[in-house]
Amino acid sequence: MEELKEELKGKIIEVLNLEDISVADIDDSDALFGDGLGLDSIDALELIVLLDKEYGIKLSDPKQGKSIFESVNTMADYIAKNRTK
């Protein structure tokens, strides 16, 4: 799980082009949206595509997004349980 979290942080930084932020700067429990990393709705779309492309997870219910994308912890947990690749 720790390895997945580190990998996930790297991918988030890459796809969202988070300049000046390194893997070490993101805490597992930091909020991704709002006060934490300060991501926005376009980033949410990028994260949905990331789940699909990298882990074979299609989010069919948009309401799920809020809890899944809460933090790296919640994202990694959801990926571990639902990944198809």
Residue number with CB closer to other proteins (2 or 41): 41
| Cβ pair 65, 48 in contact under 8 A | yes
Residue with tokens 């809460």: 70
- Residue 18-47 contact track with other proteins, rule CB under 8 A, x = bound: xxx-----------------x-x-x--xx-
Q: Record the tokens describing residue 7, joined without a space.
A: 């990998």
| Cβ pair 39, 31 in contact under 8 A | no
Looking at residues 43 to 72 of the shown chain, list those that interact with other proteins (rule: CB under 8 A): 45-46, 49, 52-53
Nearest-angstrom CA–CA distance, 83 and 57? 6
Give min distance, CB of 2 to other proteins, in A.
Answer: 27
Binding footprint of other proteins on the chain (CB under 8 A): 15-20, 38, 40, 42, 45-46, 49, 52-53
